[in-house]
A and B are shown apart, each in its own frame.
Chain A
Amino acid sequence: MNSTWSRFNITSIVLGFAFLYLPIVLLIVFSFNESKLVTVWGGFSTKWYVSLFHNQGLMDATWVTARVGVISATVATVLGTLAAITLTRYTRFRGRVLFSGMVFAPLVMPEVITGLSLLLLFVAVGLDRGFFTVALAHITFTMCFVAVVVQSRLVSFDRSLEEAAMDLGAPPVKTFFQITLPVILPAIISGWMLAFTLSLDDLVIASFTSGPGATTLPMKIYSQVRLGVTPEINAACTILIAVVAIGVIIASIANKRREIQRQLDEQAAQRG
């Protein structure tokens, strides 16, 4: 492989990363701005972070978002896992193609349509819009992402593990909880984290299905920005970025470590 740093290579890397990360870097830098004016640098300060924690509206929105995220990700993980199992295991039931199409359609469905149709449904059945409806809407649209992640793991799952468990005397339900579930757990956790993240940054569907007293963080930020960007919002976004980045870094380090440990173990096993 040719690994020389040609001028062309360097230019494209710099431009590519600038394109991706310059806006985010600006946002982080201006969150430490002393001045109230967002675009004018007035010296370094952390005061916006302090005032952020005294902003009751933002704190409430954060709390709502966290609760919606945890509840919807958990329910969506259960439902998505069940759908994935049905789709991989029962390959010959009538209407399987239709069913799998319907499970995966929300992946490509425009959010506006999902949001609007859910709003119409909630109005039609007379459901008061609020925390519950947002959570319900998030379950609906994140479930299919969980199903995709879990299904890809189940496809490579060795069915003889389950047969071995049954052969050794474990009935099907016990086999599922003692063998299948622990083996596919990493995929289920990834699915949960994906669902949680999707719920966390959803604005469109939440706007359609939310009601009084159930404003999520993205909705709050969006409404404040319409009145003008404050450094406080920058600070809130920086914290959000930090949380996500730390999560991703921890996950990848854990993954890497596991991989290295596994390789070492396998080498040890080869030596006997």
Chain B
Amino acid sequence: MKSLGTIRRDFAPWNDPNAKPYIQFDKVTKKFGDFTAVNHLSLTIFEREFFALLGASGCGKSTLLRMLAGFEEPTAGRILLDGQDLRGIPPYKRPVNMMFQSYALFPHMTVEKNIAFGLKQEGMPAPDIEKRVAEMLKLVKLEQFAKRKPHQLSGGQRQRVALARSVAKRPKVLLLDEPLGALDKKLREETQFELMDLQQELGLTFVVVTHDQEEAMTMADRIAIMDKGEVMQVATPAEIYEAPTSRFVAHFVGNVNMFEGKVAERTASTTRITGATGAEIVVDNGGNATAGSDIVFAIRPEKIKVSSKKPADAVNALEGEVYDVAYLGDMTVYHIRLDDGQIVRASALNASRITEDPLTWNDRAWVSFRPDAGVVLTR
């Protein structure tokens, strides 16, 4: 038998042109009065995928989820689930279940009754319900809390009841609205891994809405970054981080340094960029930038090396002064003010206990990076 890890590693239906889409948003628009929450959005999600919708509040991610659940109908466009158009199908007839941000546990019912609620609605025989509820309680490790009411549980336990209730019916798709938003940091990290294991174990398709990028990066197979009702980029966490396609995405996920500039020269293998003050940067991959066009060069702090002397072999090296140092234990973050005035953020992993080349406030310093360390953004 393949381990879960292997299944996850080989899972990439989005690269397979023959893979059948499972959930399809087809040019979906949703307006509330004059406000456009979702604008002409198309998106494909595959079966058994753990898909995250990531964005700031008000970007339309929750509206998208609510349209999938059936609480909102699209103003235009259609949503397909396993080939079936969902238009006009009320929430109580859709093969999807949702875990609510507030958990929405029924306060007058015990944990057991909460989990059994959905099963009763579909007319499952009582012995089968009992069996399934016991199974679900075991899955979320709440066996001894079956007879408690929601207000007799801690936040983490409530979250698990909500989860058990929403997967009890074995939906085709599980929708999770900020599933870990109400938990404290430590519990949240544990629960992230629990959710991933659960998704693999049950073989369900998960669509999670979150504003927490770390959460999305940890759990999701693919992430859709949303802004103002539109999808900015859909890709795996690594692609989103290492190869953002726009300034918005580069900025939204993680820390980034941005250099404004012009493409001075463009060949098949290299792109030469001239900064506003004349500094030159050479990169391998120029994307679709053409010579003479205005672009932004984006590079992550950990891809930048800081040293007191100019490295002999560096293709890209810029000189400046140490402006700020933040020692975080596992790493040190430097803010270097380049001689043209721009501040560059660089982080260095403290792999050894004693640093050979210590830098401190107001020291002269060089920042250097490889030609393949950043990306050229045209939008």
B104-A161 in contact (CB<8A): yes
A residues 182-239 in Cβ contact with B at 8 Å: 182-183
Contacts of B117 in A (CB 8 A): 165, 168, 170
Contact with A along B73-93 (1 / 0, CB 8 A): 000000000000000001111
Q: Are A164 and B100 in contact (CB under 8 A)?
A: yes
Contact between B100 and A160, CB atoms less than 8 A apart: yes
Return chain B residues, CB-CB under 8 Å to A85: none
Contact A269-B152, Cβ < 8 Å, known A166-B90, A171-B92: yes
A160, A168, A171, A268: the one contacting B169 at CB < 8 Å is A168
Of B69, B106, B153, the contact of A167 (CB 8 Å cutoff): B69
CA distance A140 to B165 in the complex (A): 43
B106 touches A161 (CB 8 A): yes
How many angstroms from the CA of A268 to the CA of B153 in the assembled complex?
8
> Which residues on the A side are within 8 Å of B327 (C-beta)?
none
Q: Which of B111-141 contact A (CB under 8 A)?
A: 117-118, 121-122
> What's the nearest-Cβ distance from chain B to residue A185, in Å?
8
Cβ-closest chain B residue relative to A169:
B121
CB distance from B110 to the nearest CB of A (A): 13
Residues of the A chain whose Cβ atoms lie less than 8 Å from the Cβ of B166: 167-168
Q: Is the CB of B151 within 8 A of A165?
A: no
Knowing A262-B151, A269-B157, A272-B154 are in contact, say whether A169-B92 is a contact too (CB < 8 A): yes
Q: A163-B71, A183-B107 are in contact. Are A265 and B102 (CB under 8 A)?
A: no
Q: A161-B104, A161-B106, A179-B106 are in contact. Are A268 and B118 (CB under 8 A)?
A: no
Q: How far is the CA of A262 from the CA of B122 in the complex (A)?
A: 33
A235 CB, min distance to chain B CBs, angstroms: 43
Closest Cβ of chain A: how far from B190's Cβ, in Å?
Answer: 14
Residues of B43-99 at the interface with A, using a CB-CB cut-off of 8 Å, are 69-71, 90-93, 96-98
List, in ascending order, chain B residues with CB within 8 A of A158's CB: 102, 104
* Minimum distance in angstroms from B78 CB to a CB of chain A: 21
Complex alpha-carbon distance, A171 and B121, angstroms: 9
- The reply to whether B108 and A168 form a contact with Cβ atoms under 8 Å apart is no
Q: Taking the complex as formed, is A12 at the interface, i.e. its CB lies under 8 A from any CB of chain B?
A: no
A271–B353 Cα distance when bound, in Å, is 40
A183 vs B96: C-alpha distance in the bound complex, in angstroms?
A: 25
| Interface residue A266 (Cβ < 8 Å from any Cβ of B) | yes
Chain B: minimal CB distance from A272 (Å): 6
Distance to closest chain B CB from A214 (angstroms): 40
- Number of A residues, CB within 8 Å of B: 23
By a CB distance below 8 angstroms, the chain B residues around A164 are 98, 100, 104, 106, 165
B161-174: CB near A (< 8 Å → 1, else 0) gives 00001100100000
- A91 CB contacts on chain B under 8 angstroms: none
CB distance from A79 to the nearest CB of B (A): 24
When distances are taken between beta carbons in the complex, the residues of chain A under 8 Å from B151 are 262, 265-266, 269
- On whether A182 and B118 interact (CB within 8 A), knowing A164-B98, A168-B97, the answer reads no
- Interface positions, chain B 164-220, Cβ under 8 Å from A, are 165-166, 169
Nearest-neighbour CB distance to chain B for A105, whole angstroms, equals 31
In the complex, the answer to whether A167 meets B107 with C-beta atoms within 8 Å is no
Chain A residues positioned under 8 Å from B104 (CB to CB):
158, 160-161, 163-164
**Per-residue 0/1 for A137-170: is the Cβ within 8 Å of any B Cβ (1 yes, 0 no)?**
0000000000000000000001011011111111
- Of A164, A183, A269, A270, the most chain B CB neighbours within 10 A belong to A164
Closest chain B residue, CB of each to CB of A160: B104
* B69 CB contacts on chain A under 8 angstroms: 163, 167
Q: Chain B: which residue is nearest A272 at the CB level?
A: B154
Measured CB to CB, the closest approach of chain A to B347, in angstroms, equals: 38
Which residues of A245-272 are within 8 A (CB) of B? 262, 265-266, 268-270, 272
List which A96-145 residues lie within 8 A (CB) of chain B: none
**How many Å lie between the Cα of A50 and that of B118 in the bound state?**
59
Write the chain B residue with the least CB distance to A262. B151
A170 lies within 8 A of B121 (CB): yes
Task: Provide the residues of chain B in CB contact with A266, threshold 8 Å.
Answer: 151-152
Contacts known (A158-B102, A160-B100, A168-B165); A270 close to B107, Cβ less than 8 A: no
Chain A residues whose CB sits within 8 angstroms of the CB of B97 once the complex forms:
167-168
CB neighbours (8 Å) of B152 from chain A are: 265-266, 268-269
A161-B104, A183-B108, A269-B152 known; A167-B157 Cβ under 8 A:
no
A174 to B92, CA, bound (A): 11
**Least Cβ–Cβ distance between B208 and chain A, in angstroms:** 16
Q: Which A residues touch B107, using CB under 8 A? A: 161, 183
Closest A residue to B165 using CB positions: A168
Query: Which B residues are in CB contact (< 8 Å) with A270?
Result: 154
**A183-B107, A265-B152, A269-B152 given; A163·B91 CB < 8 A:** yes
Known A163-B100, A168-B97; contact A269-B153, beta-carbon cutoff 8 A: yes
Chain B residues, CB < 8 A from A268: 152
B169 to chain A: closest CB distance in Å?
Answer: 7
Q: How far is A161 from B169 in the complex, measured between Cα atoms in Å? A: 17
Given contacts A161-B107, A179-B106, A269-B154, 13 further A-B contacts (CB under 8 A): A163-B98, A163-B104, A167-B70, A168-B118, A168-B121, A169-B118, A171-B90, A183-B108, A265-B149, A265-B151, A266-B151, A266-B152, A270-B154
21 pairs, A vs B, C-beta closer than 8 Å: A160-B100, A161-B104, A163-B104, A164-B104, A165-B117, A168-B97, A168-B118, A168-B121, A169-B92, A169-B93, A169-B122, A170-B92, A170-B117, A170-B121, A174-B121, A179-B106, A183-B106, A183-B107, A265-B152, A269-B152, A270-B154
- Which 6 residue pairs across A and B have the least CB separation, nearest first? A168-B118, A169-B121, A164-B104, A160-B104, A265-B152, A166-B91
- Interface residues of B, Cβ cutoff 8 Å to A: 69-71, 90-93, 96-98, 100-102, 104, 106-108, 117-118, 121-122, 149, 151-154, 157, 165-166, 169
